[in-house]
Amino acid sequence: MSDAPESDAPAGDPPLADAPTSDAAAECSRAGCRDTAVWAIRWRNPRIHSADRRKIWVACDEHVAYLREFLTARDFPVEVAALAAESV
């Protein structure tokens, strides 16, 4: 990607799917956090993503509010839902 993330921005984007598909537990997308993710945060940047495209970040309980606010502060459409245990 050409845009460098801000220093407090989440580290990278998880796969573009409804939830991680590996057998390993999903790790929180917050930079520096290694806790198990229990929330899926679906979002898009309307300036570059079509209405049907969603990116997914995953979050632990501690960082779900931070990540949601990080995205909503940029006027990105955001949906937060529990990360299904069977898909982790």
pLDDT of residue 25: 83
Q: Look at the alpha carbons of 20, 17, 34, 69 in this order and tell me if their dihedral is positive or negative.
A: negative
User: Between these two residues, 3 and 61, which has the higher pLDDT value?
Assistant: 61
What pTM was computed for the model? 0.69
Q: Find the mean pLDDT for residues 62-68.
A: 97
pLDDT of residue 11: 47
Q: What is the pLDDT of residues 12-43, one digit of tens each?
A: 444 434 445 555 689 999 999 999 999 999 99
Whole-number Å distance between alpha carbons of 51 and 49: 6
Highest mean pLDDT of the ranges 16-25, 47-56, 70-79: 70-79
